[in-house]
Homo-oligomer: A and B are copies of this chain.
Amino acid sequence: MARATAVSDFLSGLFDRRWIGGDKLEAQPIEALCDALLSTGGQVSGRQIASAILRRYESLKAEEKLAFFHHLNDALDLDATAVAELAARYQDEPTPAHFAALSKAAEPRRQELFRRLNQAEGATAALVRMRVDLLRLVKAHPELKRTDMDLTHLLRSWFNRGFLVLRQISWDTPASILEKIVAYEAVHEIQDWDDLRRRLHPPDRRCFAFFHPAMPDEPLIFVEVALTQEVPGSIQKVLAEDRAPLQIEEARTAVFYSISNCQRGLAGISFGNLLIKQVASELAQALPQLTNFVTLSPIPGLRKWTEAQDLPTLPFDELAAHYLLEAKRSDGLPTDPVARFHLGNGAAVLEVHADADASEKGDAQSYGVMVNYHYDLIQTEKNHEDFALQHSIAASKPIKAKARSALAAITRNSAP
């Protein structure tokens, strides 16, 4: 038990110091440590140097971190002249040796640095935290985007779907994980542990998260699911404190009512579509009575978009149908970010509901309207292709009717 750990930490420290002469390490600037890490054969002392760099980084002040990233960005960049020459040489003579030289030159040395840093205990989580800093700095220092591209490239490779682990989150999950679920829930805030219990413990509730083996205590993304008979039209009803749980045999519908990313340092590396699909698959196997897989989703862009238009007064549901099907960005994709996510996954717009989210946030975003997206297992692939290639949006008949009705009113209104 605890003894083993305490002794182990103590001896391990001693051992490492004896092995590498750690004190000297502590005295050097972080840039020198990075050089040392890149120049070692990467084996004997690499892990200790990597650990030292990551510990040092955590202790840097803001301006020192900026300097560190600029060092990576410039001193550890690729040498474009060399790349051009080696590319020409490979063009002339595509030998493995020339290929090797070109490949090596074309990869900025900071990529190898990140890979070697990743050897240390806890390094993966440390690199994800490092990217949180980097993303913030990129705003004021856009040139650092180059370093971010390299880090993102590696993180995407390491957080490959093949390495992710799906775990059910339940009331039997360790509290140390659950407190992170509370902290990371981004769609419908979890008030306290009683609220959390209501979302996890009843027999008609499920929650699943992806984890990475190198960060076993950190959920990457999680989805909360309600099992219902009908497709629900109100988040208040789904989350009501005093509701009676459904007998699991009577469930027909799985409602994905909240999806939250947990790691800002993994921004841009998308897990949501994979999670929904795998959870739908798990649920379909475990509960064959389920025939419907839908979301109950916010429409975060509705109010802002509406207020920028000159529209007649419309019923909220018709307004929302119109917005979801017709409001487009300049690239032809839907204006609404949540719509882009689910439609891009191959879902269809199924139904919209006024008075579905009575919270302040719901009113501020979308006048309280919410939408169900439908994951029809047979249509998903075709929907996805049509959306990807032609930007065409799959929608149910009622939605199309509501959108038509809205369009007619708008046309009437704009007629002279």
Chain B nearest CB: distance from A55 CB in Å? 15
Chain B nearest CB: distance from A163 CB in Å? 6
Q: Are B248's CB and A6's CB within 8 A?
A: yes
Q: Which residue of B lies closest to A177 (CB)?
A: B172
Q: Which residue of B lies closest to A124 (CB)?
A: B162
Answer yes or no: A131 CB below 8 A from chain B CBs: no
Chain B nearest CB: distance from A285 CB in Å? 4
Q: Are A157's CB and B115's CB within 8 A?
A: yes
Q: Are A84's CB and B80's CB within 8 A?
A: no
Interface residues of A in 1-36 (CB under 8 A from B): 1-8, 11-12, 15, 18-21
Instruction: Give the contacting residue for A3; candidates B45, B84, B96, B286; CB below 8 A.
Output: B286
Answer yes or no: A47 CB below 8 A from chain B CBs: yes
Answer yes or no: A388 CB below 8 A from chain B CBs: yes
Answer yes or no: A100 CB below 8 A from chain B CBs: yes
Segment from A302-310, A373-381, A397-405 that makes contact with B = A373-381
Answer yes or no: A120 CB below 8 A from chain B CBs: yes
Q: Which residue of B lies closest to A248 (CB)?
A: B6
Answer yes or no: A68 CB below 8 A from chain B CBs: no
Answer yes or no: A113 CB below 8 A from chain B CBs: no
Answer yes or no: A132 CB below 8 A from chain B CBs: no
Instruction: Please give the count of copies of this chain that the complex contains.
Output: 4
Q: Are B7's CB and A7's CB within 8 A?
A: yes
Instruction: Give the contacting residue for A87; candidates B80, B103, B165, B214; CB below 8 A.
Output: B80
**If A106-B102, A172-B176 touch, does A288 touch B119 (CB 8 Å cutoff)?**
no
Interchain Cβ contacts under 8 Å between A and B, 28 examples: A1-B168, A2-B248, A2-B283, A3-B8, A4-B4, A7-B7, A15-B285, A43-B273, A43-B274, A44-B380, A77-B94, A78-B102, A83-B84, A96-B149, A99-B149, A103-B106, A103-B153, A115-B160, A119-B160, A119-B161, A119-B162, A158-B163, A163-B214, A171-B175, A172-B176, A193-B193, A213-B213, A213-B214
**If A149-B96, A345-B44 touch, does A12 touch B119 (CB 8 Å cutoff)?**
no
**If A19-B380, A19-B381, A80-B94 touch, does A100 touch B160 (CB 8 Å cutoff)?**
no
Chain B nearest CB: distance from A160 CB in Å? 5
Answer yes or no: A330 CB below 8 A from chain B CBs: no
**If A12-B285, A44-B384, A96-B142 touch, does A213 touch B163 (CB 8 Å cutoff)?**
yes
What residues of B have a CB within 8 angstroms of the CB of A124 in the complex? 162-163
What residues of B have a CB within 8 angstroms of the CB of A161 in the complex? 46-47, 118-119
Binary CB contact string for chain A from 284 to 309 against chain B (1 if under 8 A, 0 otherwise)? 11111000000000000000000000
Chain B nearest CB: distance from A260 CB in Å? 18
Answer yes or no: A41 CB below 8 A from chain B CBs: yes
**Cα separation A46 to B123 with both chains bound (whole Å):** 29
Q: Are A7's CB and B18's CB within 8 A?
A: no
Binary CB contact string for chain A from 48 to 64 against chain B (1 if under 8 A, 0 otherwise)? 00000000000000000
Q: Which residue of B lies closest to A115 (CB)?
A: B157
Instruction: Give the contacting residue for A99; candidates B21, B146, B213; CB below 8 A.
Output: B146
Chain B nearest CB: distance from A214 CB in Å? 6
What residues of B have a CB within 8 angstroms of the CB of A313 in the complex? none
Q: Are A346's CB and B214's CB within 8 A?
A: no
Answer yes or no: A173 CB below 8 A from chain B CBs: yes
Binary CB contact string for chain A from 236 to 276 against chain B (1 if under 8 A, 0 otherwise)? 00000000000011000000000000000000001001100
Q: Are B91's CB and A106's CB within 8 A?
A: no
Q: Which residue of B lies closest to A92 (CB)?
A: B80
**If A1-B168, A4-B286, A119-B162 touch, does A83 touch B102 (CB 8 Å cutoff)?**
yes
Answer yes or no: A353 CB below 8 A from chain B CBs: no
Answer yes or no: A322 CB below 8 A from chain B CBs: no
Q: Are B90's CB and A87's CB within 8 A?
A: no
Known A15-B285, A45-B384, A96-B143; further 19 A-B contacts with Cβ < 8 A: A1-B168, A1-B286, A3-B8, A6-B249, A12-B281, A15-B284, A19-B377, A41-B384, A43-B274, A43-B345, A80-B91, A83-B102, A94-B146, A96-B149, A99-B146, A103-B153, A158-B163, A171-B175, A173-B175
